[in-house]
Structure 1
Amino acid sequence: MSNYDVYLNVFLEESKENIQELNDLLLELEKDKSNLEIINNIFRVIHTLKGMAGTMEFDTLAKFSHKLENVLDSLRNKKIDLTNDLMDFLFKASDALEESITDIEQGGNGSIEKLEKLLDKINSYVESTDSSKSSKYKTTEHEENQVKQNNEIYSKMSEETKELLENVFKRAKENNLNFFILKVILEDGVQLKQARAYAIHHKLEDNGCEIVYTYPSVEEIEKENFDKELIFGIVTSKSIGEIAELVNKVAEVESVYVDEFSANNLFGSEEESKDEEEGSKQEGLENNKKEVKLSRSIRVDINKLDDLMNLMAELVIARSRIIETLSKYDVKEVDESLTQLSRITLDLQNVVMKIRMVPVAFVFNRFPRLVRDLAKELGKKVNFVIQGEETELDRTVVDEIGEPLVHLLRNSLDHGIEGPHERLAKGKPETGTLKLSARHEGNGVIIEVEDDGKGFDVNEILRTAINKGLISSSEASKLSEEEIYNFVFLPGFSTKTVSTELSGRGVGMDVVKSTIESLKGTISLETKKGKGTKISIRLPLTLAIIEALLITVNEQVYAIPIANIDTTQRLSDGELKIVQGQEVFLLRGEVMPVVRLRKLFGYE
C-alpha cells in the first residue's frame, strides 16, 4: 500500500467520525440555538475537515468547508441569526459533506453536484464584507503589534543573515519589487508539519515569489524539527494583502503576519532583542516541560481482526486435538503443560474477542439525525431517547444491525407515534417518545425499540391473517397473543390499507427477522393498543467463537451452543415416563418431551 493510500484511509476514517460529530452537534444546536459553545465546536469540526481535505488536495470539499466556516464565524460573532432556514441549510450541508466523503471513498474527488449547488447558496447567508472582516491574517493596522512581531522575527536572525537581507532589500528596491517578511503559524496538532511547510513554499513560488530566507532551515523542516512557526523572506511584485490572502488559503494555517522589510528593523534596540530572545528561550523551556501525550489507540482494519480470530479458532481446535490425543496417556508432566496451554489459549481467546468488541453507539449515533428528519417530514413531535449506547457487541454484529434498526425506527415513527393533534385528543402529550436501548443479559445483548404510540390491534392482525388465508377462523381463536404477533414478521404482511413512501407495503419486517436470525439472534414483539409497542432483539455477543457443550452420539462428537442450552440434567430410567406413546419427564414441575438423538440422527 502506497503512502497516499495510507493517508487516504486515515482521511476517510477521520472524516466519517467528524461528519458523525457534526450531525450530533447540529441536533444539539437545534435544541439550543443560542449556545455559543456548540457553534464553536461545529466550527472546529468543519475547520478540521477543511484542513484534512486541503492536505489531500480535495479542493471542492476544502472550498466548501472554508465557506461553511465563514457562515459559522458570522453566527458566533452574531452577524447573522440562526433561523430555521439556516438550520435546515446546515443539515443539508452536513449531508453534502457526507456524500462528498462517500464519493471520495468510491474513487471520486468529492466534487459532487449537491456540494456545487450548496456552494452558490452559502454566500446568501454571509454579507460580502464578512469574508474580509473574518480574514485570519494581520496587517500593519496596529503599530504596537507590528513592533512586537518585528522584534520577534528579527531576533532569530544572525548578523550575517541580517547583512544578506539588507543587500537583498536594496536589490529589490532597485528593481521596483517588494521585500516582505512573512510569519506563518500552523494550527495546533497539525499532523504533517513538513508537508504544510512545503505547501506554503510551493504556493509562494508558484505565484512568482522568490524565497530568499527561511526559518527554520530547510534541513530542520525536513526533520520536522520545529514547533509550528515558519518565517520566510520573499521578494515579490504582489502586495501585503495579496501575499496574506495567498498563504491563508493553505490548509491548517492558523495565522499569517506580513510586513514590509526595513533596514531599521534589523538594528533596533539591542536590549529589546535580548529580552525577546530570552523570552523565546524561556517559552521553549516551558514547552519542553509539558508532558507529551501519546495516543493509546490505533486503527486496525476489520479484515486483520478477522484473520486474527480465524487463527485463534485454529489454535483452539489444535489444542482440543492435542488434549484428546494425549488424554489416553497418564503422564503428569504432560497434564501440567496441557493445563497451562489451555489457560493461555483461553486468555488469548478472550483478549482477541475483546479487541473485536465495539460500543453499539457505533451504529446508534446514526439515528438521532434520521429520527429528526423523519419526524419533521411527518409533522410529528418526537423525543428520541438512547440508552445503553456503551454496551459492547462484536463489530461484525454491529455492522449488520443498522438496517434492521432503521426499519423498526421508521415503522414506529410512521405507524406507531401519532401526530400532535391526535395525541392531544387521546389525552397524551403532543410529543411522542421513541426509545432505543441496549443492555447485556446473560451471554447476549438485548436491543429494544419502544414507542408510546398506537400499538398493534390484535383483532386487526387476526382479520388480516384470515383474509390472506394464513389461518382459518377456527384456528385463530386458539392462538396466543405471542403467536398472533408473529404474523407481523411474515413476508408481505401489513395491516395498513394505504401504503406510504416509508412503510405499509408489508416489506421489511420479514427482512428484519431474517437478518436477526442470520446473526443467531431472536426478535419478539410486545404491544398494547393505544399504549405503544416494544420490539426486543436478542443477539449473541460475538459470532466469531461460540462456546459449546460436546456430546457423543453413536461414537460421533457433536457440539451444542451453550447459548441454546437452558439446563443439563442426568435422568435415571425411573424418572422417564410414557405418555401417549411419548417419553417425558418432569422439569421444575413441567412435563418435558424426551428426544433420542440416536433416532433423530438416523442411527436407529
Structure 2
Amino acid sequence: MDMSPYRDLFISESREHLRAVSELIVKMEQETGSRADVDALFRAAHSLKGMAASMGYGEIAELSHRIEDIMDRVRKEELVFDGGIADLLLEGADLLEMMITDVANELQSVRDIGDLVQRLATYRPGAEGVAAADGRDNAAVAPTARHGQPSSATPLHGEPDRYGDASTVRVRTEVLDHLINITGELITNKHRLMTVGRELASPLLDEATVELSRLLRDLHTEVLLVRLVPFSTIADRFPRVVRDLAKKIGKEIVFEVDGKGIELDRGILEGLSDPLVHILRNAVDHGLESAGERRACGKPLQGRIRLIARREKDQVVVVVEDDGRGMDPARLVATAIEKRLVSPEAGRLMSAREAFMLTCIPGFSTAREVTDVSGRGVGMDAVRSTVQALGGNLTIESELGKGSSFILRLPLTIAIINVLLVRLARITVAIPVTSVQRTVELRRDLISSRGKQKVFDFDGEPLPLLSLNRVLGLPHSHAGELLSLFVSELKGRRVGLVVDGFIGQQEIFVKPLGRPLASMKGLGGGAVLGNGEVVFILDVANIL
C-alpha cells in the first residue's frame, strides 16, 4: 500500500507530539509536573511509536518505543524522574525531530540511534555520561506544528479526541493565503465602487456599496479568524530554549508563560519567533545574575523570566520580563559615546527610555566578552527591525537592580491594515496607524529652536520636528499658518513628522513590492486605492 499520501499528516502530527514531549519534560524537570503530565508524556511517545510503525519508519518507532519504556518505568514508580532522565529524553526528542525532518525532505535517514537506545534501556539513577544540553541552539530543531497549522494529534491533557470529527478539517496554508489575497482585492474594489458612486451621485449604487462594505467587513473578520493560531504554537518551545541555555551557563531559572491561548495571525506569529528567542537568550545571559550575585543582592537564587501575551484593543502585546540586574542608562550612554554611535552632546540630552533603546543600534553591546551566546551587538537590532517589519514597535523598560521588560506591540494581521493617507508634494503615501500616535495641526508660533533643531511642546515634552518631504527628497510646500504633522516614535524617542496634508484613514490590502523596490529601505509594501492610484506604505522607523 502506498503510504505517501499520509506522509504530510504523519510529519505534522509527529512534530506536534514532539512539541508536547519537550514542554512536558522541562515542566517535570522543574518539579512543576503532575501525574497527569507523566501519563501525557507516556501517551505522546506511545502515539508517535504507533504512527511511525504504521508508516514503516522502523527506527523512529524503535526510538519512540524506548522513550515510552522509560516513561512506563516512571509511571510504575520504578524510577524517579530526575535530571538524567530529562537529558536522555530531550536528546531523544532532538534525534526524533532530525529523523522526521529527514522524512520531510525525502532523505534516507542515516541517524545512529543505537547508543541512545542502549542508554535509555539501561538507565539507572546517577548514571554518568548523560548530557543533552551540549551547547547546541535547540531553537533550530525545536518542534513546532507544520506551517503553524493546528494539529489534530492524539489528545493530551484530557482533550477530546478530534479524529473523525467532521466539524474540523485541515486546510493547506496556501489556501488560507489565497483566501486573504482575494479578500484584500475585494476590499480594493469596494473602494473603487465607492469612488464611482461619488462621481455618479447614484443613491442606488451608494446603497449597494454600503451593503457590500458590511458584507466585506464580515468576510474579513471570518478570514482573519481562520488564519489565527494560538501563541502556544511558538511559545511551547521556549521553555526548552531557556532550560538548555541556563544549564549551559550554570544558572538556575524559573520560566513562566502567560497567555498561551492568545491568537495571532499566522504570518505575524512566524515572524515573531526569532525575535523572542533573541530576547530570551539575552535575558538568560545578560539580564539575570549568577547565583552568587543574586545571593549577595539578597535575591532568590533562582532567577525568574516571564513571557506574557495579551490583547489590547486591536493589538497583541508580548512582554518578556526578568527580575535580573536591570540596565544602567548612564553606562549605556557612555558605551554609545565610546563606540562613537552617538555624539557626547546627544548623549547628555537622552532620557532613560532613549538610553535603553541604544541597545538596538547595530554594533552596540556592553558585554565584556563575545561568547557563542551573545556580545556581538547584533541581536536587538535584528529584533527591532523584524518587529517593525511586522507593523509593530518595541519599547524597553528597566530598573537597575530590579530587572527589565521588553514590550512588543503588534497588529492582529499584516495583510489588510488601517493606514493614514498623507499628501507629500504631488504624491500620496500610506502610514500604518500603528506608527501614528497622534495627528496635529500646529501653529507656527508654537515652534521654537534648540540649536539647529526645530522643536515644539507636546504634552510637556519638547519634540523635534522633521519634514517627511525633505527626508524623502521631495519638494515641500508647508505653506500657511498651520503645519500638518503626526507624532511617531523612533528608537524610543517621539518626533513630529511634517507632511503637506492629511487625506484620511483607510483600510488597505498590502501587496509586496517586487525588485528593485523591495530592496529599498523604508518601504513596507504597496496598495491600490479606489481611484486606481498606487501608494507606497512607509516603514517610518526604517526610512529615518
Provide the TM-score with structure 2 as the length reference: 0.73
Structure 1 residue corresponding to 2:408, chosen from 537, 540, 558:
537
Query: Does 2:431 match 1:577?
Result: no
* CA deviation string 1:509-568 (max 9, x = no partner): 211121112212221211122111111112121111011344567775544433333445
Partner of 1:95: 94
Query: How does 1:31-70 map onto structure 2 within 5 Å?
Result: 31-32=30-31, 35-70=34-69
Structure 1 residue corresponding to 2:340, chosen from 463, 466, 469:
469
Query: How does 1:502-581 map onto structure 2 within 5 Å?
Result: 502-550=373-421, 557-567=428-438, 577=445, 579=447
Tell me if the contact between 1:23 and 1:94 (Cα under 8 Å) persists in the aligned partners.
yes
- Pick closer, same or farther for the CA change 1:592–1:375 going to 2, 3 Å: closer
What letter is aligned with 1:403? D
Query: Does 2:307 match 1:308?
Result: no
* 1:323 shift after superposition: 1.6
Query: How does 1:64-213 map onto structure 2 within 5 Å?
Result: 64-113=63-112, 115-125=113-123
- C-alpha separation between the residues in 2 aligned to 1:353 and 1:542? 7
Partner of 2:249: 378
Structure 1 residue corresponding to 2:292, chosen from 399, 405, 421:
421
Partner of 1:447: 318
Tell me whether 58-67 or 77-86 shows the greater mean CA deviation. Answer: 77-86
- C-alpha separation between the residues in 2 aligned to 1:411 and 1:80? 36
- C-alpha separation between the residues in 1 aligned to 2:420 and 2:104? 44
Tell me if the contact between 1:371 and 1:409 (Cα under 8 Å) persists in the aligned partners.
yes
Tell me if the contact between 1:382 and 1:432 (Cα under 8 Å) persists in the aligned partners.
yes
What letter is aligned with 2:122? S
Tell me the secondary structure at the aligned position of residue 324 of structure 2: coil
- C-alpha separation between the residues in 2 aligned to 1:462 and 1:550? 37
* CA deviation string 1:318-352 (max 9, x = no partner): 12112211222233322221111111111111111
- Pick closer, same or farther for the CA change 1:508–1:112 going to 2, 3 Å: same
What letter is aligned with 2:49? K
More helix by share: 1
- C-alpha separation between the residues in 1 aligned to 2:321 and 2:339? 28
Query: Does 2:262 match 1:391?
Result: yes
Tell me if the contact between 1:423 and 1:429 (Cα under 8 Å) persists in the aligned partners.
yes
Tell me the secondary structure at the aligned position of residue 547 of structure 1: strand
- C-alpha separation between the residues in 2 aligned to 1:554 and 1:488? 36
Partner of 2:534: none
- Pick closer, same or farther for the CA change 1:53–1:39 going to 2, 3 Å: same
Structure 1 residue corresponding to 2:207, chosen from 328, 336, 344:
336
* CA deviation string 1:481-510 (max 9, x = no partner): 222222211222111222222112223121
Which of 1 and 2 has higher RCO (CA within 8 Å, sep 6+)?
2
* 1:578 shift after superposition: 6.5
Tell me if the contact between 1:577 and 1:585 (Cα under 8 Å) persists in the aligned partners.
no
What letter is aligned with 1:577? D
Partner of 2:493: none
- C-alpha separation between the residues in 2 aligned to 1:482 and 1:46? 48
- Pick closer, same or farther for the CA change 1:68–1:567 going to 2, 3 Å: closer
* 1:66 shift after superposition: 1.8
Query: Does 2:409 match 1:409?
Result: no
Tell me if the contact between 2:446 and 2:457 (Cα under 8 Å) persists in the aligned partners.
no
Tell me if the contact between 1:58 and 1:110 (Cα under 8 Å) persists in the aligned partners.
no
Tell me the secondary structure at the aligned position of residue 417 of structure 2: coil
- Pick closer, same or farther for the CA change 1:472–1:345 going to 2, 3 Å: closer
Tell me whether 398-407 or 91-100 shows the greater mean CA deviation. Answer: 91-100
* 1:27 shift after superposition: 2.2
- C-alpha separation between the residues in 2 aligned to 1:438 and 1:34? 22
Tell me if the contact between 2:29 and 2:82 (Cα under 8 Å) persists in the aligned partners.
no
- Kindly, what percent of the aligned residue pairs are identical? 35
* CA deviation string 1:40-88 (max 9, x = no partner): 2211111110111112111110111122222222332234443432232
- C-alpha separation between the residues in 2 aligned to 1:445 and 1:488? 23
Tell me if the contact between 2:447 and 2:456 (Cα under 8 Å) persists in the aligned partners.
no
- Pick closer, same or farther for the CA change 1:54–1:324 going to 2, 3 Å: same
Tell me if the contact between 2:321 and 2:403 (Cα under 8 Å) persists in the aligned partners.
yes
* CA deviation string 1:570-599 (max 9, x = no partner): 78xxx6637469999987677888888889
What letter is aligned with 2:115? K
Partner of 1:480: 351
- C-alpha separation between the residues in 1 aligned to 2:378 and 2:85? 36
Partner of 1:9: 8
- Pick closer, same or farther for the CA change 1:476–1:558 going to 2, 3 Å: closer
What letter is aligned with 1:338? T
Tell me the secondary structure at the aligned position of residue 125 of structure 1: coil
What letter is aligned with 2:475? G
Tell me the secondary structure at the aligned position of residue 122 of structure 2: helix
Structure 2 residue corresponding to 1:602, chosen from 472, 475, 494:
475
* 1:445 shift after superposition: 1.7
* 1:303 shift after superposition: 2.0
What letter is aligned with 1:512? V
- Pick closer, same or farther for the CA change 1:484–1:550 going to 2, 3 Å: closer
Tell me if the contact between 2:308 and 2:318 (Cα under 8 Å) persists in the aligned partners.
yes
Between Structure 1 and Structure 2, whose CA radius of gyration is higher?
1
Tell me the secondary structure at the aligned position of residue 448 of structure 1: strand
* CA deviation string 1:349-379 (max 9, x = no partner): 1111221111211111111111122222222
* 1:385 shift after superposition: 1.4
Structure 1 residue corresponding to 2:224, chosen from 348, 353, 371:
353
What letter is aligned with 1:299? R
* CA deviation string 1:125-160 (max 9, x = no partner): 39xxxxxxxxxxxxxxxxxxxxxxxxxxxxxxxxxx
Provide the TM-score with structure 1 as the length reference: 0.66
Tell me if the contact between 1:103 and 1:112 (Cα under 8 Å) persists in the aligned partners.
no
Tell me if the contact between 2:26 and 2:86 (Cα under 8 Å) persists in the aligned partners.
no
Partner of 1:165: none
What letter is aligned with 1:70? D
What letter is aligned with 1:25? L
More strand by share: 2
- C-alpha separation between the residues in 1 aligned to 2:441 and 2:379? 44
Give 5+ residue unaligned stretches, structure 2.
Answer: 125-153, 155-161, 478-544
- Pick closer, same or farther for the CA change 1:102–1:558 going to 2, 3 Å: same
- C-alpha separation between the residues in 1 aligned to 2:465 and 2:345? 30
Tell me the secondary structure at the aligned position of residue 229 of structure 2: strand
